[in-house]
């Protein structure tokens, strides 16, 4: 049986750039190609990591899946239904099934709301329960799920009375309270102290297993991706350049960009010795307004040869079972 919960086909998000007078006269329009035709699917109950540097399009992809942005092209299928463009009523239903954990839990909470109010709000919006006592039970259960025990102790706290880790637990509880099928977690631990990160990821993983949830985990940090995810897709300038099982990608990377990301992780990746020698990477990420022709990574790639920029952009090919990479030389 098909176990796919979400399937994305050739998804694009291009943002128009404000035109100069000359461009207006010439009817020219330039675009920032934030997400430039990506395809992947996530199985139910799995954790899929989107990894890459800032500006690679991973957060835009998360927002497209959350339906916070309308795609420019492509298709999103969720639980077998086309959800690419939704009417307001269907969108509200979809948002109950797909929830998001934001990078900064402090900014995503109303500072005048106690933890109880933060958790009750989605219940009220989605008309889950009109009964106060019933809502209180659901709030209490959600706090227990994220290991804020005893829940009564945390219910009356305002965000500033919680530690960074506790705030992220409340943010996670807020997503769980609606019993979603999938959670988009955008850099959920990047604003948390190093000492608490592992604890929060551990809690998120335990909850995911208990409730058979699916996560899209967005991160720039390969060391947490290795520990946390089942599969990884590496994004560069709006495209997926490598994708496969997490262990396979970390142990046997093929694309020079993935190798450079792994080499940049100074500590061993999840307890393993980093065997990849430093792969130099040249310069900065180019602007998504002006994507290099051919392989978009070629200006920064130390292995680039003439065919890398003279020929068509390399497409993902299967280099071993379930392991895909887009490189003209190595794949």
What's the closest the beta carbon of residue 286 comes to ligand SF4, in angstroms?
A: 13
| In contact, 143 and 175? CB cutoff 8 Å | no
Which residue's CB is nearer to ligand SF4, number 71 or number 244? 244
Is residue 116 a contact residue for ligand SF4 (CB under 6 A)?
A: no
| In contact, 234 and 258? CB cutoff 8 Å | yes
Q: CA 53 from chain center: how many Å?
A: 12
What's the closest the beta carbon of residue 312 comes to ligand SF4, in angstroms?
A: 11
Interface residue with ligand SF4, options 5, 308, 316, 319 (CB under 6 A)? 308
User: How many residues of this chain interact with ligand SF4, rule: CB under 6 A?
Assistant: 14
Per-residue binding string, ligand SF4, 250-289, x by CB under 6 A, is -----xx---------------------------------
What's the closest the beta carbon of residue 293 comes to ligand SF4, in angstroms?
A: 11
Is residue 52 a contact residue for ligand SF4 (CB under 6 A)?
A: no
* 121-127, long-range: CB < 8 A, 24+ apart: 121/174, 122/174, 122/177, 122/178, 123/177, 123/178, 126/92, 126/96, 126/178
Which residue's CB is nearer to ligand SF4, number 155 or number 243? 243
- The CB-side HSE value for 279 (13 A sphere, CA atoms) comes to 19
| In contact, 157 and 102? CB cutoff 8 Å | no
Is residue 169 a contact residue for ligand SF4 (CB under 6 A)?
A: no
Is residue 238 a contact residue for ligand SF4 (CB under 6 A)?
A: no
Is residue 301 a contact residue for ligand SF4 (CB under 6 A)?
A: yes
Inter-CA distances, 32 with 13, 66, 72, 209, 291, Å: 8, 20, 11, 38, 9
What's the closest the beta carbon of residue 311 comes to ligand SF4, in angstroms?
A: 9
Is residue 295 a contact residue for ligand SF4 (CB under 6 A)?
A: yes
Ranges within 175-194 binding ligand SF4 (CB under 6 A): none
CB neighbour burial string for 290-326, b if at least 16 within 10 angstroms, e if fewer? ebeebbbbbebbeebeeebbeeebbebeebeeebbbb
Longest dimension (CA), the chain: 69
Is residue 323 a contact residue for ligand SF4 (CB under 6 A)?
A: no
Which residue's CB is nearer to ligand SF4, number 74 or number 299? 299
Q: Which stretch binds ligand SF4 (CB under 6 A): 67-75, 218-226, 261-269, 296-304?
A: 296-304
Which residue's CB is nearer to ligand SF4, number 182 or number 304? 304
* Rg, C-alpha atoms of the chain: 21
Q: Which stretch binds ligand SF4 (CB under 6 A): 31-39, 91-99, 118-126, 303-311?
A: 303-311
Is residue 324 a contact residue for ligand SF4 (CB under 6 A)?
A: no
Is residue 303 a contact residue for ligand SF4 (CB under 6 A)?
A: yes
What's the closest the beta carbon of residue 67 comes to ligand SF4, in angstroms?
A: 33
Which residue's CB is nearer to ligand SF4, number 102 or number 297? 297
Instruction: Quote the CA–CA distance of 19 and 5 in Å, as a whole number.
Output: 40
In three-state secondary structure terms, 7 is strand
- Residue 205: φ, ψ to 5°: -70, -40
| In contact, 175 and 119? CB cutoff 8 Å | no
Instruction: Quote the CA–CA distance of 132 and 123 in Å, as a whole number.
Output: 10
Inter-CA distances, 203 with 96, 169, 176, 207, 311, Å: 22, 8, 13, 6, 47
What's the closest the beta carbon of residue 43 comes to ligand SF4, in angstroms?
A: 28
Binding site for ligand SF4 (CB under 6 A): 255-256, 295, 297-298, 301, 303-304, 308, 314, 327-330
């Amino acid at each position: 049986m098909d176990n796919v919960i979400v399937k994305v086909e050739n998804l694009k998000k291009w943002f128009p750039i404000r035109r100069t007078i000359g461009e207006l006269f010439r009817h020219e329009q330039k675009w920032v190609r934030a997400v430039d035709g990506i395809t992947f699917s996530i199985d139910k109950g799995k954790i899929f990591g989107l990894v890459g540097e800032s500006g690679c399009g991973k957060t835009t992809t998360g927002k497209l899946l959350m339906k916070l942005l309308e795609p420019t092209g492509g298709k999103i299928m969720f639980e077998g239904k086309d959800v690419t463009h939704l009417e307001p009523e269907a969108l509200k239903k979809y948002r109950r099934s797909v929830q998001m954990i934001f990078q900064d839990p402090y900014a995503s909470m109303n500072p005048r709301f106690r933890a109880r109010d933060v958790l009750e709000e989605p219940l009220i919006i989605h008309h889950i329960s009109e009964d106060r006592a019933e809502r209180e039970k659901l709030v209490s259960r959600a706090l227990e799920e994220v290991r804020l025990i005893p829940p009564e102790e945390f219910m009356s706290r305002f965000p500033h009375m919680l530690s960074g880790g506790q705030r992220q637990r409340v943010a996670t509880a807020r997503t769980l309270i609606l019993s979603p099928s999938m959670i988009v977690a955008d850099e959920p631990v990047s604003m948390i102290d190093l000492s608490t990160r592992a604890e929060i990821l551990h809690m998120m993983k335990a909850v995911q297993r208990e409730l058979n949830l699916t996560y899209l985990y967005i991160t720039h940090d390969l060391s947490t991706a290795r520990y946390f995810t089942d599969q990884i897709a590496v994004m560069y300038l709006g495209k997926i350049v490598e994708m496969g099982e997490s262990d396979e990608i970390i142990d046997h990377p093929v694309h020079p960009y993935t190798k450079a990301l792994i080499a940049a992780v100074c500590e061993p990746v999840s307890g393993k010795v980093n065997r990849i020698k430093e792969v130099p990477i040249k310069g900065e990420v180019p602007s998504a307004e002006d994507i290099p022709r051919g392989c978009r990574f070629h200006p920064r790639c130390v292995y680039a040869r003439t065919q890398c920029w003279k020929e068509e952009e390399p497409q993902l090919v299967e280099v071993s079972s379930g392991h895909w990479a887009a490189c003209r030389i190595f794949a």
